[in-house]
């Protein structure tokens, strides 16, 4: 549980951006660790996000090393003249045997595992050969806590994936991993979290005014 009592330290602001749209997003095909590039729509969204963030006083830019996140981050890195730091730990959840399938195909080929995945009632359940919500949350917590320590009192951009944003939102609001998702995670949406003395809070979520259209297929 996060410490939410009497913060006294400097605020670290995390600007967390989901990657732009891919062709697989458009057909609800599960990507996970499969390295899928942005579509033309996704590249336009990346440029729009970069323009929206160009005036922010960013101290650093981190990105998942997967192509779709890296390509989204490159526009902001170019406009802010900051180096892009690729981080394997910011990758999407590994969805095991579901990867490469649409959600409908996964339901047909792996009905029991798909049903358990959709139920989201056991944070320790992992699709065959995949990663559980618990393990994903532990991985992301380690990476983000390290970034916050390195950039105390600064503003940092992080480009990552829908599953990562899901667990970060829950951490900031103290929600369990097993609760149904009732919040949006649009492609190339901009999300702000503030961290003070290990107390996480959501400043704004799913900003999309910079985008012509967005998709949230999760």
Catalytic residue among 21, 74, 92, 131: 92
Instruction: Report how far residue 68's alpha carbon sits from residue 37's, in angstroms, rounded to the nearest whole number.
Output: 5
**Catalytic-residue membership of 154:** no
Instruction: Report how far residue 201's alpha carbon sits from residue 194's, in angstroms, rounded to the nearest whole number.
Output: 5
**Catalytic-residue membership of 33:** no
Long-range contacts (CB closer than 8 Å, 24 or more residues apart) made by 126-129? 126/96, 127/95, 127/96, 127/97, 127/98, 128/96, 128/97, 129/94, 129/96, 129/97
Burial of residue 125 (CB within 10 Å: 0-12, 13-18, 19+) is middle
- DSSP letter assigned to residue 188: T
- DSSP letter assigned to residue 38: P
Burial of residue 56 (CB within 10 Å: 0-12, 13-18, 19+) is middle
What is the set of active-site residues? 19, 92
């Amino acid at each position: 549980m996060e410490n939410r009592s009497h913060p006294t330290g400097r605020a670290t602001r995390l600007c967390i951006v989901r990657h732009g749209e891919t062709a697989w997003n458009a057909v609800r095909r599960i990507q996970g660790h499969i390295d899928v590039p942005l579509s033309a729509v996704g590249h336009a969204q990346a440029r729009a996000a970069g323009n929206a963030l160009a005036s922010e006083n960013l101290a650093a830019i981190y990105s998942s090393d997967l192509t779709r996140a890296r390509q989204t981050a490159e526009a902001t890195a170019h406009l802010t003249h900051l180096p892009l730091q690729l981080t394997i730990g910011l990758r999407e959840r590994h969805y095991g045997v579901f990867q490469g399938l649409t959600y409908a195909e996964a339901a047909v080929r792996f009905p029991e595992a798909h049903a358990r995945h959709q139920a989201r009632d056991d944070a320790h359940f992992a699709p065959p050969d995949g990663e559980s919500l618990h393990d994903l949350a532990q991985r992301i917590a380690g990476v983000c806590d390290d970034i916050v320590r390195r950039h105390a009192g600064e503003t940092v951009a992080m480009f990552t994936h829908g599953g990562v944003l899901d667990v970060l939102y829950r951490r900031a609001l103290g929600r369990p991993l097993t609760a149904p998702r009732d919040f949006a995670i649009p492609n190339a949406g901009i999300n702000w979290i503030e961290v003070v003395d290990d107390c996480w809070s959501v400043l704004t979520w799913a900003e999309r005014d910079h985008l012509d259209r967005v998709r949230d297929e999760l």
